Copies of this chain bind each other. A is one copy, B any other.
Amino acid sequence: MQNLKLNPLKKLEIILEGEHMEFATDLLDRAGVKGYTIVNQLSGKGSHGFYEGHVMFNEDDVLIMIITAVPEALVEPIVEGFTPFFNKHSGVIFISDIQVSRLVKFTN
């Protein structure tokens, strides 16, 4: 890929119960995230919060995944912003490296 200029960003995949969507998107907006995409009506199985230990849940069509791409500097404030939430509620944040061909959509 000699000619294509790609830029590194961090992808966040935030999986949580749909009823908490507005909490999550408000947090992202305040952190300065410029856009996100939401996958609705996910099913899932997992542990129900950290304090409740290993209580399992099975959920049909109630989870959502919010996908967003952010500069690396935003990862820590976002993850820390969600930490109290995920102490009490189901869900997780996956962080991974991606590249995009232009940065204008993701930075201020």
Contact = CB atoms under 8 A, between A and B. Distances in A.
Contact of A95 (B35, B67, B80, B99): B99
A40 to B, nearest CB: 7
A69 to B, nearest CB: 6
Interface in A77-108: 79-80, 83, 86, 92-102, 104-105
Copies of this protein chain in the complex: 3
B105 A46 contact: yes
Contacts of A38: 42-44
A54 B17 CA distance: 30
Contacts of A47: 34-35, 104-105
Contacts of A100: 92-95
Contacts of A104: 47, 50
Given A76-B3, A95-B99, A37 B25 contact: no
Interface of A: 1, 3-4, 6, 11, 13, 15, 25, 34-47, 50, 61, 63, 65, 67, 69, 72, 75-76, 79-80, 83, 86, 92-102, 104-105
